[in-house]
Chain A
Amino acid sequence: MDADDNVYDALAAADHDGRWAHGAGFDESVVEVTAPAPDGVDTEDLAAYCLMLADDALVGSQRLSEWATHAPELEEEVALANIALDLLGQARVLLARAGHLGAAERFRVAGRASEATGDGRAHDDEDVLAYFRDDRFFRNVTLAEIDLGDFAQTMAWMLVFSSWRLGLMTRLRGSADPVLAAVATKAVPELAYQREYAAGWVLRLGDGTELSHVRMQAGLDAVWPFVEEIFGAHAVETRLVEAGVAVDPAALRADVDADLEQVLPVATLTRPERPAVGLVGGRGGRDGVHTEALGPVLAVMQSLARAHPEATW
């Protein structure tokens, strides 16, 4: 592990890269999403996997965006927007890839994303998948969709989420799918920043005042029941791991544990001992079986697009 991977040591490193000012990123596609699927890889599986990783980022970004204009300080306003933008950027490329692999056609149905233009593609694939898909077809882990609570809970959430996704993207750089590999390469530094940001606040709040300590521990406790699910492999993931395309989520447990072991004691926090939330008949977010939280999140996000299904924006 080199110094850049050290979540605690990296706190001292100055960050003058001007990230706060980065743009909307809509033309920063890292790779042609139309690249063919690798030989021997099931296209539907690959599309489903892209949706999983896209939805984690999209829903997480939407949740983080709820902080806009509510952050405790202007610097945090800027940082949280930054992180939401990074996740949104990851989601957009992955959704476009899933769309190219056929996922969008399933949701491009009459009355929704209808044929408003001559070529029948009123919406880009990313928007069909983001706005015209019902919650039961979202593939994100439920950790991505839970209410973020107060700032402490948000930082607990971000530490776990970014540690996990950083481990995932770090490994995914070697994926047999060139699009996933490219997305991962771009995502790794973004997620390293997120992890550093979250770890910094977990330390400050955990070892700050009595009140902040209580809230930080409570935030961690609230997030904890949703952590176990992120290490479980869906059948699609298992098949794609064998094909050299996907990352085995079970392998990420050690990454997250290592980060938490490094941060929590210094932050004077206790690793929670709380049971994981139960699944429904063994099915969770990756199967489209979500918590009650996702429906309202998507209802807000999709409301305007669905009110004008024939419109482009």
Chain B
Amino acid sequence: MTVSDETTRLATASTPDGAPTPERGPEEVFEATVAAEGRIEPRDWMPEGYRKTLVRQIAQHAHSEIIGMQPEGNWILRAPSLRRKAILLAKVQDEAGHGLYLYSATETLGVDRTELTEKLIDSRQKYSSIFNYPTLTFADIGVIGWLVDGAAICNQVPLCRSSYGPYARAMVRICKEESFHQRQGFELLMTLMAGTDAQRAMVQDAVDRWWWPSLMMFGPADGDSPNTQQSMAWRIKRHTNDELRQRFVDMTVPQAAALGVTLPDPALAWNDERQAHDFGEIDWAEFTAVVKGAGPCNAQRIAHRRAAHENGQWVRDAASAYAAKHADRSEEPAA
């Protein structure tokens, strides 16, 4: 990816006293930089735990972008108008682009894309469980844009201020595009809700299926989220899972009303005292099952990604062989 010079300059400028001095060891510099909301850059010293946490988180995010292409890709060939087809094709393409620059961000931490892809297809690294649910109708495309991209934005906007520079900068760009996707999704749903009875029913059905999995996107409840506290101390993460989930619910309720759909939760109600919505308990058994691989599409998604990767091996091999041949030739002395 490329970032504007301005972004780079600002991010760099915000790093206070970047270099270790005789008085301050690298660890102190790291702690001071993070505490002062500065940015850690690839060449800076960082604790091994920080590096590992970042690799895990960014890789999971990259994998989510790539696996997330599948449920939406399911409708590219059948999109019911050429305009919708163009939008969907461009969106799935954006996701490939997001995956690309997130993998690039992990490369600044010393791992490469092939290694991570192999971990993904061997199920040694995870991706967002939301993509283990099927897209059954075209309304699902709109609901994914609205709820899934909406939840992703709630999760990701704070990451634009992540302490790790390359990740933060990647997230600035990704969030811009995600916002665009979310608006497109909502616009599709508005169109369907203004359409036929069958289209409206299609939207409600999609909302019924995607609402709870969308809430699960914020991860386990705070009491069950072992990594959150350290990630927050390192300023990799800025808010707890439950805080983000609450914010998402509060933002979504009026949008659902504007759309004219019902969110499938009888416990959902405004709580004047808390100045927030109460909502029902997530089915944590389902959450755990899907995370552990027993969701409706886990096996299918991984098999699909594995097939694409393995079927492409000969193409990548050929590109490497060709590049090597031509590197050799270019090194030959001129006659």
User: A residues engaging B (CB < 8 A)?
Assistant: 20-26, 58, 62, 65-66, 68-78, 81-82, 84-85, 88-89, 91-92, 95, 116, 123-124, 126-127, 130-131, 150-152, 203-205, 207-209, 211-212, 215, 300-301, 303-305, 308, 310-313
Inter-subunit contact B317/A208 (CB<8 Å) = yes
B143 near A: Cβ within 8 Å? no
Task: Find A311's partner among B76, B196, B313, B315 (CB 8 Å cutoff).
Answer: B196
Task: Find B77's partner among A62, A74, A215, A313 (CB 8 Å cutoff).
Answer: A62
> Given that A20-B97, A68-B92 are contacting pairs, would A92 and B82 also be in contact in the complex, using a CB cutoff of 8 Å?
yes
B84 near A: Cβ within 8 Å? yes
Task: Find A308's partner among B73, B199, B317, B322 (CB 8 Å cutoff).
Answer: B199
- For B313, the chain A residues whose CB sits under 8 A away are 72
- For B85, the chain A residues whose CB sits under 8 A away are 65, 88
Inter-subunit contact B70/A300 (CB<8 Å) = no
A23 to B316, CA, bound (A): 28
A-B residue pairs in contact (CB < 8 Å), sample of 9? A24-B89, A24-B90, A65-B77, A72-B312, A72-B316, A152-B315, A205-B318, A205-B322, A311-B198
Min Cβ gap B69→A in Å is: 5
B311 near A: Cβ within 8 Å? yes
A241 to B304, CA, bound (A): 48
Inter-subunit contact B73/A68 (CB<8 Å) = yes
> Given that A62-B77, A70-B308 are contacting pairs, would A88 and B86 also be in contact in the complex, using a CB cutoff of 8 Å?
yes
- For A75, the chain B residues whose CB sits under 8 A away are 100
Of B94, B199, B321, which is in contact with the most chain A CB atoms at under 10 Å from its CB? Answer: B321
Which residues of B (97-147) have their CB < 8 Å from a CB of A?
97, 99-100, 103, 113, 138
- Report the number of A-B residue pairs with Cβ-Cβ less than 8 Å: 159
> Given that A78-B96, A209-B318, A313-B191 are contacting pairs, would A66 and B90 also be in contact in the complex, using a CB cutoff of 8 Å?
no
> Given that A24-B83, A303-B78, A313-B191 are contacting pairs, would A308 and B96 also be in contact in the complex, using a CB cutoff of 8 Å?
no
B319 near A: Cβ within 8 Å? yes
User: B residues engaging A (CB < 8 A)?
Assistant: 66, 69-70, 73, 76-87, 89-90, 92-94, 96-97, 99-100, 103, 113, 138, 188, 191-192, 195-196, 198-199, 304, 307-308, 311-319, 321-323, 325
- For A116, the chain B residues whose CB sits under 8 A away are 196
Inter-subunit contact A77/B315 (CB<8 Å) = no
> Given that A62-B77, A73-B312 are contacting pairs, would A21 and B97 also be in contact in the complex, using a CB cutoff of 8 Å?
yes
- For B113, the chain A residues whose CB sits under 8 A away are 74
Min Cβ gap A267→B in Å is: 10
Task: Find B312's partner among A26, A71, A303, A308 (CB 8 Å cutoff).
Answer: A71
* Minimal Cβ-Cβ distance residue in A for B313: A72
- For B322, the chain A residues whose CB sits under 8 A away are 203-205, 207-208
- For A300, the chain B residues whose CB sits under 8 A away are 77-78
* Minimal Cβ-Cβ distance residue in B for A85: B89
Inter-subunit contact B314/A211 (CB<8 Å) = yes
A9 to B140, CA, bound (A): 46
Min Cβ gap A151→B in Å is: 5
> Given that A69-B92, A208-B318 are contacting pairs, would A85 and B86 also be in contact in the complex, using a CB cutoff of 8 Å?
yes
- For A212, the chain B residues whose CB sits under 8 A away are 314-315, 317-318, 321
- For B89, the chain A residues whose CB sits under 8 A away are 24, 65, 68, 81, 84-85, 88
Determine the main DSSP class of B at the interface with A: helix
Closest 5 CB pairs of A and B: A72-B312, A208-B318, A212-B318, A81-B93, A72-B315
A152 to B312, CA, bound (A): 11
Query: With contacts A62-B77, A127-B82, A204-B319 known, what are 12 further pairs, Cβ within 8 A?
Result: A24-B87, A72-B316, A73-B312, A74-B66, A77-B69, A84-B89, A131-B81, A152-B315, A205-B322, A304-B80, A312-B81, A313-B138
- For B315, the chain A residues whose CB sits under 8 A away are 72-73, 76, 151-152, 205, 212
Inter-subunit contact A73/B316 (CB<8 Å) = yes
Min Cβ gap B293→A in Å is: 20
Task: Find B93's partner among A20, A73, A131, A305 (CB 8 Å cutoff).
Answer: A20
A88 to B321, CA, bound (A): 34
Task: Find B73's partner among A58, A69, A85, A95 (CB 8 Å cutoff).
Answer: A69
- For B78, the chain A residues whose CB sits under 8 A away are 300-301, 303-304
* Minimal Cβ-Cβ distance residue in B for A28: B86
Min Cβ gap B253→A in Å is: 26
Min Cβ gap A97→B in Å is: 14
> Given that A308-B196, A312-B191 are contacting pairs, would A127 and B318 also be in contact in the complex, using a CB cutoff of 8 Å?
no
Inter-subunit contact A91/B321 (CB<8 Å) = no
Min Cβ gap B134→A in Å is: 15
Inter-subunit contact A26/B94 (CB<8 Å) = no
Inter-subunit contact A25/B317 (CB<8 Å) = no
- For B70, the chain A residues whose CB sits under 8 A away are 69
Inter-subunit contact B96/A74 (CB<8 Å) = yes
A156 to B182, CA, bound (A): 37
Inter-subunit contact A208/B90 (CB<8 Å) = no
